[in-house]
């Protein structure tokens, strides 16, 4: 991990936020539209828009899942989204737009739960910034997930564990 990235991670949620009108963030009960969120990250100066969507899968560790239920502390989650965008611009100053949307409520298998889109002149920075955004969201945003199992049981799980590189 670079020293610059370590510095940004250390300051997450403590540095002042600089909102950018071209960015877009939401916590919503409504279904997420891949196309609409892509459009929010698109810009004539972009050479790339990288978009990541998280979906409800039908199993976890081989156990059948029928639905996920998400809850969020919306004011703080949105602040985390704004901070992620500020961090991205510290690390990748050429980024033009950042869009982060997360759905809450009960979602069926196949539903999109989160979409992150980053528009930038160059693809490598767009990929890196998009990955940073989803990993940081999972670590820092106050969003909780409950898995509903095929056998009728359910359990809350920690979504703060990012995939190891």
In this prediction, residues 5-28 reach a mean pLDDT of 67
Average pLDDT, the chain: 89
Mean pLDDT of 154-161: 76
For residues 77 and 136, is the Cβ–Cβ distance under 8 A?
no
Strand pairing class (24-28; 97-103): parallel
Tell me whether strands 143-149 and 112-120 are parallel, antiparallel or unpaired.
unpaired
Query: What is the pLDDT, as a whole number, of residue 135?
Result: 96
Cα gap 25→155, rounded to integer Å: 28
pLDDT at 157: 87
Q: Which residues pair with 108 in a beta bridge?
A: 67
Residue 16 has pLDDT above 70, yes or no: no
- Asked if 126 and 48 count as a contact pair (C-beta separation under 8 A), the reply is yes
pLDDT of residue 9: 47
Distance from C-alpha of 50 to C-alpha of 128, rounded to nearest angstrom: 9
Q: Which two tokens stand for residue 47?
A: 């050479």
Give pLDDT tens digits for 93-148.
Answer: 999 999 999 999 999 999 999 999 999 999 999 999 999 999 999 999 999 999 99
Let me know if 102 is exposed, middle or buried by CB neighbors in 10 A (0-12, 13-18, 19+): buried
Question: So what's the pLDDT on residue 20?
Answer: 83
Q: Supply the pTM of this predicted model.
A: 0.85
Tokens, residue 152: 């009728």
Share of the chain above pLDDT 70, in %: 84
Span 87-97, average pLDDT: 97
Q: Residue 56's closest CA among 6, 109, 125, 131?
A: 109
Half-sphere exposure of residue 33: CA atoms within 13 angstroms, side-chain side: 7
């Amino acid at each position: 991990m670079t020293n610059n990235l370590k510095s940004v991670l250390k300051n997450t949620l403590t540095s002042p936020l600089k909102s950018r009108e071209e960015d877009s963030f939401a916590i919503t009960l409504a279904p997420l539209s891949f196309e609409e969120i892509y459009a929010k990250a698109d810009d004539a100066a972009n050479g790339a828009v990288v978009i990541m969507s998280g979906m409800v899968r039908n199993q976890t560790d081989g156990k059948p899942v029928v639905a996920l239920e998400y809850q969020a502390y919306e004011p703080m989650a949105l602040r985390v989204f704004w901070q992620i965008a500020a961090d991205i611009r510290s690390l990748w100053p050429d980024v033009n737009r950042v869009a982060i949307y997360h759905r809450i409520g009960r979602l069926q298998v196949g539903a999109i739960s989160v979409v992150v889109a980053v528009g930038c002149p160059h693809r490598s920075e767009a990929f890196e910034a998009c990955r940073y955004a989803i990993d940081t969201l999972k670590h820092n945003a106050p969003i909780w997930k409950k898995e509903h199992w095929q056998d009728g049981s359910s359990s809350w799980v920690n979504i703060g564990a990012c995939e190891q590189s």
